[in-house]
Amino acid sequence: MSSESKFRPKMLGIICNWCCYGGADLCGVSRFQYPTYIRLIRVMCSGRVDMKHILFAFLNGADGIFVGGCHINDCHYNPEGNYDALSMYNFCKKLLEHVGINPKRLRLEWVSAGEGIRFANIMNEFSREIEELGPLGRIEGLDENELKTRLKNIIKLVPYFKLVKMKELAIHNPDEEVYKKLYTSEDIDRLIKEAPSYYIDPKRCQACMTCARRCPASAIISEKNKIHIIDQDKCIRCGTCYDACPPKFGAVTKIVGAPVPPPIPDDQRTIIRKTG
Q: Which residues bind ligand SF4 (CB under 6 A)?
A: 198, 200, 205-211, 215, 217, 219-220, 228, 230, 235-241, 244-245, 249, 251-252
Which C-beta is closer to ligand SF4: that of 111 or that of 219? 219
Which C-beta is closer to ligand SF4: that of 12 or that of 230? 230
Amino acid at 121: N
The CB-of-209 to ligand SF4 minimum distance in angstroms stands at 5
Which C-beta is closer to ligand SF4: that of 56 or that of 249? 249
The CB-of-267 to ligand SF4 minimum distance in angstroms stands at 18
Q: How many whole angstroms separate alpha carbon 129 and alpha carbon 219?
A: 41
Using DSSP's 3-state secondary structure scheme, residue 255 falls into: strand
The CB-of-212 to ligand SF4 minimum distance in angstroms stands at 6
Asked whether the beta carbons of 49 and 67 are under 8 A apart, the reply is yes
- In sequence order, which residues have a C-beta less than 8 Å from that of residue 180 and are 6 or more positions away? 90
Which C-beta is closer to ligand SF4: that of 75 or that of 241? 241
Runs of H (alpha helix) within 107-201 = 116-133, 144-156, 158-164, 166-169, 176-182, 185-193
The CB-of-65 to ligand SF4 minimum distance in angstroms stands at 28
The candidate with the shortest Cα–Cα distance to 198, out of 233, 164, 165, 222, is 233
Which C-beta is closer to ligand SF4: that of 124 or that of 206? 206
The CB-of-256 to ligand SF4 minimum distance in angstroms stands at 13
Asked whether the beta carbons of 182 and 90 are under 8 A apart, the reply is yes
Which C-beta is closer to ligand SF4: that of 50 or that of 129? 50
Amino acid at 96: L
Strand pairing category for 11-16 and 64-69: parallel
The CB-of-253 to ligand SF4 minimum distance in angstroms stands at 10
Element spanning 256, H or E:
strand 252-256
Q: How many whole angstroms separate alpha carbon 187 and alpha carbon 73?
A: 29
